[in-house]
A and B are shown apart, each in its own frame.
Chain A
Amino acid sequence: GDSVTQTEGLVTLTEGLPVMLNCTYQSTYSPFLFWYVQHLNEAPKLLLKSFTDNKRPEHQGFHATLHKSSSSFHLQKSSAQLSDSALYYCALSAYNAGAKLTFGGGTRLTVRP
């Protein structure tokens, strides 16, 4: 079946350092990949999603590149901000699953001054 793995449950960084949150997936066919972000006491919301034509999606300084060869969609940002502290979910939309998403376990990012 389809699955998403986020290896780090907790990541703590100092402000200004680069961010990289890992996401790998297993899916029979080429899926769409997403990153959702959930700030404290808020609902999860879409951060960015993969394109079908190898373009790199970017939003609020975050970017992610879909690498089909390694089945990965890691989230990156060049310089962490305090406001980036949140829970981040990687998710995939499988070819044969309609609109349903499969979520990873989530990574909690804490950025310290």
Chain B
Amino acid sequence: GGIITQTPKFLIGQEGQKLTLKCQQNFNHDTMYWYRQDSGKGLRLIYYSITENDLQKGDLSEGYDASREKKSSFSLTVTSAQKNEMAVFLCASSNRRGATQYFGPGTRLLVL
């Protein structure tokens, strides 16, 4: 088995601030993902990475940057936090097509 850890668990930021979320996995999976979860809007893909140093944009990449420093870690940066923004950011990993995606517990963001 394996596990995905996300830090921090809760993140409170100020409008305009740059905020970084981190994700680590020990499944030895090639592909990692960042999703945003808003109530009533499902899971929207922000960025994904199919290998170290690779980055692919998802449907919601505007306003975000990502970095895959090594196979086990994937970071997401909110480039300029929006006032009153509230969402959960989920990290996931998987291997080949048709394989299960495993999710981390999420980072809850609140922007004041």
Contacts and interface: CB of A to CB of B under 8 A. Distances in A.
Q: How large is the interface on B (under 10, 10 to 19, 20 to 34, 35 or more residues)?
A: 20 to 34
A43 B106 contact: yes
B105 interface: yes
Contacts of B111: none
Given A43-B4, A100-B31, 13 more contacts: A43-B104, A43-B105, A44-B103, A45-B102, A89-B43, A93-B98, A97-B97, A98-B31, A99-B50, A99-B94, A99-B99, A100-B48, A106-B42
Nearest to B32: A99
Interface of A: 9, 32, 34, 36, 42-46, 49, 89, 93, 95, 97-101, 103-106
A99 B104 contact: no
B45 interface: yes
Interface of B: 4, 30-31, 33, 40-45, 48, 50, 90, 94-106
B97 A98 contact: yes
Given A98-B50, A99-B31, A99-B50, A44 B98 contact: no
